[in-house]
Amino acid sequence: MSSFCELCGRKVIDEKKTVLIDGIAFNVCKGCSKRGKPYTPPVSVTNTKPTSTPSKIAARTIAPTKSTSPMRKIDMTDNTILNPEYAKLIREARMKKGLTHEQLGAQMNEKAGLLRRFETGALKPDELFAKKFQRFLGIHLYVSIQED
């Protein structure tokens, strides 16, 4: 396959060179190659390929360091556990306030039946519920086990 120098227009017989002139790659003859910087084409790492994995891997290696600090805030399971006495705690706190399941449920915007199930220990409140109970009853259902 014969090609022509993009600078002088001569047919390139011996060796076609690619050089960078003002950031643009030119296919030039040997003589014209001195006018630009030697250009080395990128080794198959182009973003045009959708299947190229190198960029994905690079992004992944950066991701963990970014996400570790916000993750820890949410991840309570490491050092906090649900108080095994949670059922008793909820019931006692509710009775102290003189509220029925219905009344407390209405305040918390939750079904009374759900509160009953928590108080019987049939259902374990997740962290979201624990926060609600904390807000409405002032009880802490998740306890830290860090001191152990």
- Return residues touching Zn ion (CB under 5 A): 5, 7-8, 28-29, 32
Smallest gap from Cβ 20 to Zn ion, in A, equals 15
Q: Which long-range contacts (CB under 8 A, 24 or more apart) does 126-130 make?
A: 127/76, 130/82
Cβ 38 to Zn ion shortest distance, Å: 15
DSSP strands (E only) in 32-145: 37-38, 80-82, 142-144
Residue number, 8 or 24, with CB nearest to Zn ion: 8
Do the bridges between strand 37-38 and strand 24-28 make them parallel or antiparallel, or are there none, so unpaired?
unpaired
Least distance from C-beta 62 to Zn ion, angstroms?
Answer: 44
- Tokens representing 32 are 């014209």
Cβ closer to Zn ion: 32 or 87?
32
Residue nearer to Zn ion on the CB measure, 5 or 130: 5
Minimal distance, residue 8 CB to Zn ion, in Å: 3
Nearer to Zn ion (CB atom), residue 29 or residue 87: 29
Q: How many helices (H) and strands (E) are present in the chain, helices listed first?
A: 5, 7
